[in-house]
Amino acid sequence: MKAITTRLRYLLVLLLAAAWVAGPCRAPSGGGDDAEAGGASSGPRVLRVYSALDPNETKIYFSEYEKYTAARGEPVKMQWVRLSSGGVLSRVTQEKGKPSMGLWFGGPSTDFIDAAQNGLLEPYRPAIKGFSLDPQMHDPKWRWTGFYFGAIGFASNRNMLERLGLDPPQSWKDLLDPRYENNVSVAYPYQSGTAYTVLSSLAQSMGEGPALDYLRALDRNVHHYNKSGSACVTQAGLGEVAACVAFSHDILKKGPGQGFPVALSFPADGTGFEIGAMALIKNGPDHDEARRFMNWALGRQAQSLMQQWYRIPLNPHAERAQGIVPATELNLIRYDAIKAGKDKRRLIEEWRLATGQ
């Protein structure tokens, strides 16, 4: 086994930088790699969080929030654990009734929908100023709230493609080319929210049967699977694989943004997307602080920080990354996140049967 609708188009400006753009941390800011807790708090006010964002990106928001609260004379210290979105869902499920963290920050809404259906989240409607969220961007009962948008794309190593005689992939079928044998990297959909977004998007756009047939065929070209959806971008940049599938903001930040010869492209035959979310974990600690953080996270200051990771904020007043590509240039599928959340456990089992993973 290989280890390791339309309304959205005008409510969201899909901010994607042009194709060739440009360990645990110390306390008190907190942070760490998978399953490792962040820094210990030295003050009386603490917010304990599971983050499904990249640890380096997590530090951007959490350190800024610490500065923000300190400037207001009400300092808060962030203690956090970084896991993939699927890992957070598994951890919160295991801890049901006595969770160690009070806030879940980041990851596709499909995982939050799964958690909400299983009674793991507590409702909270953030105090939003100057704009409103479309119904697709939050749970009907406010058990989760969206705060960013992202589209699935392809990352490919230019140098390796040249050696293989390939162009950057422009369709899902392109990744089935025999020249990609052992040269594609993706993540496990039962551990990665990114990978489950890919699985559910294909199931909705192709139909479940054809999508599973496609993923079974793609498995023959997969060099390895990852726990994290964004890990493959670095692997493509280093030349460990020729191509991978990830969210476009991760591709831009961890590919060309780090000086790697990585090209970003999108499937012309349709791509999926996520509404990234945050939520209170039911019966968790620090809920008063978590509510204040959620309010801040939707404000202009916090949302403007997302340009550092080429992420797409939902606040229309936020500053945005340079070099944008309009949503009209992408073929976004009619993605039903509610259906994806409801179908998750069954679809993952079908995927495992199809691929043997």
Q: How far is Cα of residue 77 from the mean position of the Cα atoms in its chain?
A: 24
**Distances in Å between the alpha carbon of 168 and those of 19, 69, 178, 329?**
11, 45, 15, 17
Give the closest residue to 281 by CA, choosing from 101, 109, 138.
101
Q: Which amino acid is it at 31?
A: G
Q: Report pLDDT for 320.
A: 84
- What is the pLDDT at residue 308? 92
CA distances from 133 to 48, 177, 237, 294, 296 (A): 26, 41, 36, 14, 15
Q: What are the strands, taking DSSP E only, across 215-357?
A: 222-226, 243-247, 262-265, 273-281, 312-313
For the stretch 200-245, pLDDT in tens is 999 999 999 999 999 999 999 999 999 999 999 999 999 999 999 9
Q: Which SS3 state, helix, strand or coil, does residue 81 take? A: strand
Instruction: Count CB neighbours of 135 within 10 A.
Output: 9
**Which of 42-46, 188-192, 290-294, 338-342 ranks highest by mean pLDDT?**
290-294
Locus of tokens 């790699």:
33
- Alpha helices (runs of H) in 108-255, residue ranges in sequence order: 109-117, 158-164, 193-206, 208-219, 231-237, 248-254
Specify the CATH number of the domain 151-272+330-355: 3.40.190.10
Look at residue 282 and tell me whether its pLDDT is greater than 70: yes
Mean pLDDT of 40-55: 82
Residue 62 above 70 pLDDT? Answer: yes
What kind of architecture, by CATH, is found in domain 23-149+275-324? 3-Layer(aba) Sandwich (3.40)
What's at 41, amino acid-wise?
S
Please check whether residue 213 is in contact with residue 351, taking contact to mean a CB–CB distance below 8 angstroms.
Answer: no
Burial of 15 (0-12, 13-18, 19+ CB in 10 A): buried
Angle (CA) 331 208 150, round 5°: 35
pLDDT at residue 4 is higher than 60: no
pLDDT for position 328: 61
Whether 256 shows a pLDDT value over 80: the answer reads: yes
3-state helix, strand, coil in the chain (%, to 5): 40, 20, 40
Across the chain, what does the average pLDDT equal?
88
pLDDT of residue 35: 36
106 torsion bin: left (phi>0), alpha (psi -120 to 50), beta (else): left
Each domain of the chain, given as residue ranges in start order, spans 23-149+275-324, 151-272+330-355
> For residues 176 and 184, is the Cβ–Cβ distance under 8 A?
no
Is the pTM here over 0.85, yes or no? no
Identical topology for domains 23-149+275-324 and 151-272+330-355:
yes
